[in-house]
Structure 1
Amino acid sequence: MGKNKLKKFNDMATMDCVFQYPFGVLKESGFPMKGSWRRDYFHNYNPIVLELGCGKGEYTVGLAERFPDRNFIGIDIKGARMWTGACQVRERGMKNAAFLRTNIELLPYFFAPDEVDEIWITFPDPQMKKVTKRLTGTRFLGLYRQVMKDGGMINLKSDSPFLYTYTRLMTQLNGFEVITDTDDLYHDASVGGDILGIRTFYEQQWLDRGLTIKYIAWKLDRETPLQEPDVEIEHDTYRSFSRGELQCPELCNNPEVRPKGSQSEK
């Protein structure tokens, strides 16, 4: 581990807004605030919103600033990125934001049934070859049901045509109530509100290159039997920053806009 990462991990260990629980300890003793996040951490009874795969925490911090009457928790396994958002929360003295370092599959270890009101999924890996790893797939929807209130909102924001198409088909097949659906968020006059003012670093990179951002939000009920779409979906013609070439072929030959290194989409 590099010295910079180690420094960040040591720093986060001192932050009251960051929770890190190794699975072995979690499995043995459990998470002490499961079912009591509002009472024991936030000290209020406002709704709880999760950002899954939060990266640097731009949405966790941005939403918490815009909606002081809601509580926000950013979740990611990569703590070196999370450190950025956690520092902002600490420095700004924010009381309605926190970060949890864990795998998304472990949500039921940290949250009780009905404890979560809403989920944001911002620019995840589309997992075009592995349906069980897609954060909007039925495997994960079943997981979210274990911790969310009935009818809670799921929000997906993505640059991936594949994941957006898959998610639309999934909501249609399962009959979920879709609240917002657009394949070009920043040029759709019907979509407004404060979410338009929050952009991750890599989201802005895509926008600067003329690519479109997709957004779909739906209500997840608890009773509908979950079904996977059995449809062939065209794969993306690009892979995001850590995953290869750009979407637009005309951009791929321009060295100034090629992604560099092994950074993730966040």
Structure 2
Amino acid sequence: MVQFCPSNQSLLKPWVNDGLTRCFIDTLHDSILILALIAFLLQIFYIKRYGHRITQSRSPWFYLLIVMGVLIPVMAVVQSVLFAFFNVPEKNTAVYFHGFLILNLVVRPAVWLVSLAVLYMDCVYFLACPRTKHSYSLLFLWMSSLLLLLLPIVSVRSTDWWWRFKSPDDIAHFCLWIVQVFGVIGVLVLGLLGPSLPKDHTAIYNNLQSDDISHAVDPLTRYYRRFQILAPCLWPRDNKVVQFKVIVSIALLVAGRVVNLYSPIFYKQIGE
């Protein structure tokens, strides 16, 4: 029967030999990724239902994000396979896979592939006001992955990790870990900057116009869709400064209309 953790490690006792165990860190990482997967599925459903697909040229940063999003889980899989082949406690076995390694090999590629689908939909679907960063589900994945990848640093004194560089296997594990860390940092920075998000207002407007023409949308429905798109820009819930500016602008507009209405009367009285 396949054990979930090695014989010298346990989820109930994560701190062993002056550091966190590999079984505990990987299980924690995969558990959080499963939560991100649920958020991704909800995000896909929401975008498919309420998003408007647009057509515009792709930024080179978009393809860089895709490449890095594929590279990170590949490095994680390679690292798990190396751990299974080179950390064999018994000489009569060539390889051993514990349950946490199998979970790792299944969860990480699946979650990162689904995240690429969400990333693609983020870049080709327009929901509301043009955004400056990607969806919160993607940011949650990237930030949590970075924090969890940095967890082995607390185990720098442990003999169960690769920090002592006693063998080529330790050096290989360390190099793969470095690639993953810098890959996630790069993805996170690009995600916060959002260079591949749809920001061309003209392209968005033209796509909505062509969509209305092709589907013969009545004027009332067209105005309602425009209002749905503009409402988050005109009245953002979390931006009190913009809300105050909108109120002041409306007050000035009303005041200007009132002044224009009474201007002829005042001019007539002044002339008399």
Which TM-score band (shorter chain)? under 0.3
Please state which structure has a larger fraction of its residues in helix. 2
Please state which structure has a larger fraction of its residues in strand. 1
Kindly name which structure, 1 or 2, has the bigger radius of gyration based on alpha carbons: 2
Give the structure-2-normalised TM-score: 0.22
Give the structure-1-normalised TM-score: 0.22
